[in-house]
């Protein structure tokens, strides 16, 4: 399952992503926000990350104005590897090499077509493991220090 969240800056794009996931038959959960009214993005980021760290979802997608604030907040949660992406190569490689579990995007940075490509590259790409696992393990060591 994919969990989604946004602040007011990502509200419109998150709703387009939900429609895209429905068309692809991908199960999802929306943790908010549910209106375009201003909200504090760290609260949404933590709610989404808790869904992943508790095992309720495998991957998450967070959308704010730039994707940067959500990425910063999400990466404070133990067990989360969030990547802010605005190109398909990075979205694919962050799954393949970094085993990222949260994709962050900017609703004011990427257009709908590119956003759907980012989503597809992120959710349909598997982690390669191998030499990359050693590096992900080192990130976890830093996190646990």
List all residues 6 or more positions away from 32 whose beta carbon is below 8 Å from its beta carbon.
Answer: 5, 6, 39, 44, 47
Residues recognised as catalytic = 64, 97
- Token pair for residue 22? 């429905």
Strand order in the sheet with 102-106: 28-30, 2-6, 59-64, 102-106, 82-84
Residue 92 Cα distances to 51, 116, 144, angstroms = 22, 13, 26
Alpha-carbon span 37 to 9, nearest angstrom: 9
């Amino acid at each position: 399952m994919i969990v989604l969240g946004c602040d007011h800056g990502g509200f419109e794009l998150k709703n387009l992503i939900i429609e895209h996931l429905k068309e692809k038959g991908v199960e999802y959960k929306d943790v908010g926000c549910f209106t375009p009214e201003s909200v504090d993005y760290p609260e949404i980021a933590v709610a989404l990350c808790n869904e992943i760290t508790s095992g309720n979802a495998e991957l998450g997608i967070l959308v704010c104005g730039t994707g940067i604030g959500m990425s910063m907040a999400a990466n404070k949660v133990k067990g989360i590897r969030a990547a802010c992406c605005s190109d398909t190569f990075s979205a694919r490689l962050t799954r393949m090499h970094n085993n990222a579990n949260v994709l962050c995007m900017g609703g004011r940075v990427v257009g709908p077509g590119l956003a759907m490509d980012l989503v597809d590259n992120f959710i349909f790409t598997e982690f390669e493991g191998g030499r990359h696992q050693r590096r992900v393990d080192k990130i976890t060591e830093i996190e646990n220090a």
